[in-house]
Amino acid sequence: AEGLATEEDYPYTSGRGVTGKCNDNFSVVEGTNIASWKYATPACTTRKCEDQDEDTLASTVSTVAPPSICVNAESWQDYTTGVLTSKSCGGNGYYALDHCVQLIGYNGISGDDGYWIVSHQLLMTVALTV
């Protein structure tokens, strides 16, 4: 990718019952070119992704920048409010990840009450349990 597309060139259509298609012919928004990138934590490339380095990921969010992450968003269609549990989100393997979002924060990452805060175009802000 060379940068971010404009909403005009790459509109969101799914919420209106229209299945979109990938468009590789779009204008790049000035100032959004990607100069370099790296993984916030080691990438998961296996069928099960149950042992990610959440401490490093939390540190990246708070000290470097909000990273882009990929999630299984199949159940997000019915989301209205509250915290989505990892169980309700479905599988977490490499091939189950179907949507990318920006990780913008967290509230404790250890224990049963911790959660990640993500932002994306469809739901604005969502909380996901650790």
Confidence of residue 130 (pLDDT cuts 50, 70, 90): low
Output the six-digit token pair for 25. Answer: 């012919």
How far apart are alpha carbons 91 and 50 in whole angstroms? 10
What pLDDT, on a 0 to 100 scale, did the predictor assign at position 123? 53
For residue 72, the SS3 value is: coil
Structural domains in the chain, CATH included, are 1-37 (no CATH), 40-129 (3.90.70.10)
What pLDDT, on a 0 to 100 scale, did the predictor assign at position 100? 83
What pLDDT, on a 0 to 100 scale, did the predictor assign at position 128? 60
pLDDT in tens, 69-90: 888 888 877 777 778 887 787 7
pTM for the model stands at 0.69
For residue 71, the SS3 value is: strand
CA 13 from centre of chain: 18
- The average pLDDT across 24-43 equals 81
What pLDDT, on a 0 to 100 scale, did the predictor assign at position 110? 67
